[in-house]
Chain A
């Protein structure tokens, strides 16, 4: 196995172009497991940890542009106030050691439907920036991930960053696992309120082939909020509407039975998490605790 260690973004793209089947690695929290279990045996591995460009984040045109090599730990410590939903999700990833190594770019590269960082990206309509020696393109996250562990990255492309707006309202993330820490999600739910654009972003994790945006649920609750003028009045969302939001989210899920949980349970739990995260976020919007 060939191990390449580029020291600049340019070198990284050239290495990737020269070795189209090569497997990029950063924290190794997915790649090394695959190697160790013999699931993947790439001819070439490209280590991106020495590429400074992808470890940075900054503001660009009013948006946050976050390098693919930003770890979960840094998402918590450096981006916690700007992207509270992503920080909440990052806190549920693995152990401190895993959070120190693993990156959000890695979650995008692995494209597992159980990737904890993905629902917050969907809920805030993140765009993924990928590049090759041929050029750069930006793809909405929902079009970037196209199947279980499948994304649209071309063999010569690398993920350089993702772009999303700073939180303009409350954000929430909830996850169910079969133990209290260090657990792959049975299912999860990310939610973001966007008071300026008067919209609600939501995403189901680990209950379908990809993270799923429950559009009917989003549209429904946006209509309820508009209809009752709740963005301004900050009054409670009627309980029946919270329930309906949960039901619509649950209906959008496409879960399977697997070792972590049954499809029926996941469908049920997605509804609970949807209602719960919306309630928490809306209470924060209203300025009330809990």
Chain B
């Protein structure tokens, strides 16, 4: 019998230290590559040296003769996959090459060094065909049936052309964002082992169960014969949200050496092919406003790329459908299908590039209307969500803008561009809004079991990708069950536990936390306040009927001070303010890190990140951290991060909205707007490098 006194909550919202922190700093938290396995083999991939065509011959004799080499896997000897419908994942099933650096084989050897050495000795010959690997506005474009996350491809309300012709003020802007690569610190890593038809994967993933379901289908085995283990993950930023070909390659190769674990860690350079990336975008935005600065027409037309072998259609203009009020609006998406790797999720797919364009355009339009950019946004604040026609469960964008203006000292800004210089530095301030939808993925189930001694086990397969889920979920469990955090034994990151949805779309806490609350409710219903050891329930994330009644989004506002060297045009960002309205914050400490990480990544998008493709050879040429820049500590100044107390009773039992992505949405525009205020130069093509600011 339990003698625990049920507490009245209070764990949610506390600044609890990461419970996995000691394990991480002492090196006892195993990442995928570090799980102890017996007698492993090491995999080094063979990658295509052409962009498009056929493998015509493979000479692996020199590689196979090398001591330690066990097998060279190619399409000539690889096992058949049961399901080849997903052409990104159906590797080594034919000699077809669909993009540069695509996997055409692998070497398995007793050591990593032998595998890598041997891979260099394999001679592959090809029949090359013409290719197209660069996004061009005037290339062949098509209309996808729908966008990522199920958003409609195009929307139209009212009569935009009529509204433009009668608008007092109009703006016509073209904005571009480059190809970007997610680049989590831990590369994509798999340890795969087959035993008697059962597959075990130690995997660096954002979702153990989604990987399990994918590999079960592809290898034609029953779901419960595939186990995926991922207790600790070194970041993903979306690139580990969906399984990629590296996972299939490891599992496929492991089939050929039944019983022996195969270890495959993608190298940093290899991460620039095949594990997802953000599509480059070409975005045209037109805004029309009346003489009072109210938007009368908005259009947002997007061109972006996908791969010929699998469609990924980023929902870049989706954010424009609801951000501001207008009666006349059109959004469109067109795709170029190219001989390139498949684009995928990268932190806030759609919102991040789309809000760069929209919030840059809003800044330009505010100036044209003679309004302060904050006032301009407030004037165009909608009453309801235009996309669904529903009221918002809570929408505190205006509060974020006002609070941020106060904290940042917006009133001291000189509105005229290039009007403030300190020494050799041109100084400017910029603002931009942020938003991100509350996604609620179905199907997660949580088990709660009373294990005696005041301990409650809470189990489900969710992955903590470094965000702090271990800690936040412990806090949620404590309040849901009504005990202290020390009474919770959380077990996650393994398909041995009940199904959990992917850690993507900032949806984890909503989905998993709702399941925990439901399980706790059922547990008390069945077992009361004094359960017996072994009492257990399992419950599913319930449907939320309020999603029929309310549109649910998080909001935020960013303020940036930019300094631009008047002669060399180097840009520095000494301070950034972010204010968020994201419902209840589960853990103040890890949340702050999440927001800061998002803002840092937004600054990185604004000033640094750009994957440069050489169209002739079809690959990213700056494929390492020396040339693909992300900010260093010296590039990040003061980060002022706060949130408003938002009580949203509709979103989920915690009142939380998801915080993983909103920090990057709009923050790049805030930097660009600050650079404009500093210099009078509007850079519409990211990243903002010094050469774009030379007049």
Contacts and interface: CB of A to CB of B under 8 A. Distances in A.
B258 interface: no
Interface string A185-222: 01000000000000000000000000000000000000
Contacts of A262: 691
A272 interface: yes
A37 B120 CA distance: 12
A179 B687 CA distance: 12
Contacts of A265: 569, 690-691, 694
Given A179-B631, A179-B632, A259 B567 contact: no
B39 to A, nearest CB: 27
Given A259-B622, A273-B568, A179 B691 contact: no
Contact of A181 (B568, B632, B694): B632
A182 interface: yes
Interface string A245-287: 0000000000000011110110011001100100000000000
A176 interface: yes
Q: Which of B567, B568, B635, B694 has the most CB of A within 10 A?
A: B568
Given A265-B690, A273-B568, A259 B632 contact: no
A197 B607 CA distance: 44
Given A37-B269, A186-B690, A261-B690, A179 B568 contact: no
Given A183-B629, A262-B691, A178 B621 contact: no
Contacts of A276: 567
Interface residues of B, number: 25
Nearest to B625: A182
A272 B568 contact: yes
Contacts of B58: none
Nearest to B689: A178
Contact of A176 (B568, B607, B622, B627): B568
B567 A272 contact: yes
Given A180-B634, A181-B633, A181-B634, A261 B689 contact: yes
Contacts of A272: 567-568
Given A181-B632, A261-B689, A176 B570 contact: yes
B608 A178 contact: yes
Given A181-B632, A181-B634, A259 B621 contact: yes
Contacts of A184: 626-627
Contacts of B657: none
B388 to A, nearest CB: 41
Q: Which of A176, A178, A184 has the most CB of B within 10 A?
A: A178
The dominant DSSP class at the B interface is loop
A265 to B, nearest CB: 4
B100 interface: no
A276 B691 CA distance: 19
A135 interface: no
Given A184-B626, A259-B622, A272-B567, A38 B608 contact: no
B572 interface: yes
B608 A179 contact: yes
Nearest to A95: B632
Contacts of A180: 572, 631-632, 634-635
A190 to B, nearest CB: 16
Contacts of B384: none
A184 B632 CA distance: 13
A259 B627 contact: yes
Contacts of B572: 180
A278 to B, nearest CB: 14
Nearest to A38: B120
Contacts of B631: 179-180
A108 B269 CA distance: 27
Contacts of A38: 120
Interface in B627-664: 627, 629, 631-635
B399 interface: no
Contacts of A261: 689-691
Nearest to A273: B568
Interface string B544-581: 00000000000000000000000111101000000000
B612 interface: yes
A178 B569 CA distance: 10
B635 A181 contact: yes
Nearest to B636: A180
A171 B690 CA distance: 26
Contacts of B690: 176, 178, 186, 261, 265, 269
B607 A179 contact: yes
A182 B621 CA distance: 19
Contacts of B624: 37
B612 A179 contact: no
Contacts of B567: 272, 276
Contact of B632 (A37, A182, A273): A182
Contacts of B120: 38, 41
Contacts of B634: 179-181
A83 B626 CA distance: 28
Nearest to B626: A184
A211 B243 CA distance: 47
Q: Which of A179, A181, A186, A276 has the most CB of B within 10 A?
A: A179
A183 B629 CA distance: 8
Contacts of B691: 261-262, 264-265
A88 to B, nearest CB: 16
A41 B612 CA distance: 26
A27 B689 CA distance: 31
B575 to A, nearest CB: 15
A182 B631 CA distance: 9
Nearest to B627: A259
Contact of B629 (A33, A178, A268, A269): A178
A262 B692 CA distance: 9
A262 B693 CA distance: 12
A139 B689 CA distance: 38
Interface string B609-622: 00010000000011
A268 B570 CA distance: 13
A204 to B, nearest CB: 14
Contacts of A178: 607-608, 629, 689-690
A216 B634 CA distance: 36
Contacts of A41: 120
A260 B632 CA distance: 17
B635 A259 contact: no
A34 B694 CA distance: 34
Contacts of B694: 264-265, 268
Interface string B652-695: 00000000000000000000000000000000000001110010
A115 to B, nearest CB: 14
Q: Which of A33, A37, A180, A273 has the most CB of B within 10 A?
A: A180
Given A178-B608, A178-B629, A259-B621, A269 B568 contact: yes
B640 to A, nearest CB: 20
Contacts of A186: 690
Contacts of A273: 568
B567 to A, nearest CB: 4
A180 B568 CA distance: 13
Nearest to A263: B691
Interface string A7-47: 00000000000000000000000000100011001000000
Contacts of B622: 259
Contacts of A37: 269, 624
Contacts of B633: 181
Interface string B416-448: 000000000000000000000000000000000
Given A180-B632, A186-B690, 14 more contacts: A33-B626, A37-B269, A41-B120, A178-B607, A178-B608, A179-B607, A179-B629, A179-B632, A180-B572, A180-B634, A181-B635, A265-B569, A265-B690, A265-B694
The 9 closest A-B CB pairs, nearest first, are A265-B691, A180-B634, A181-B634, A272-B567, A181-B632, A262-B691, A180-B635, A182-B632, A179-B635
6 contacts: A179-B608, A179-B632, A180-B634, A181-B635, A186-B690, A261-B691
Interface of B: 120, 269, 567-570, 572, 607-608, 612, 621-622, 624, 626-627, 629, 631-635, 689-691, 694
